[in-house]
Structure 1
């Protein structure tokens, strides 16, 4: 059996969570969040990803 770290199951998500996922679903947006975080030495935590996504998009 192959385990893929990129696949997972979400059983419940809030409206805020849906908005976050929607904002970073495209590779372009996700890469922009990661690049900005790396360039500014910011941690890649859920709260930081959410903050950056709301500021960038």
Structure 2
């Protein structure tokens, strides 16, 4: 197994490769979610009907 670390250097030792994968997935999976903007929030529109009394 060979991969490049975040500095672009080749990593060939098995223990180092495992450690690099661990670091990579920790960074990948532990990101803070983006802050939603007004475009991301679904808007709900309501209309109000006038109140009409029931005929007697």
State whether TM-score is above 0.5: no
Q: What TM-score comes out, normalization by structure 1 length?
A: 0.32
Q: What TM-score comes out, normalization by structure 2 length?
A: 0.33
- Higher-Rg member (1/2): 2
Which structure's residues are more often helix, by fraction?
1
Of structures 1 and 2, the one scoring higher in RCO (CA 8 A, sep 6+) is 1
Which structure's residues are more often strand, by fraction?
2
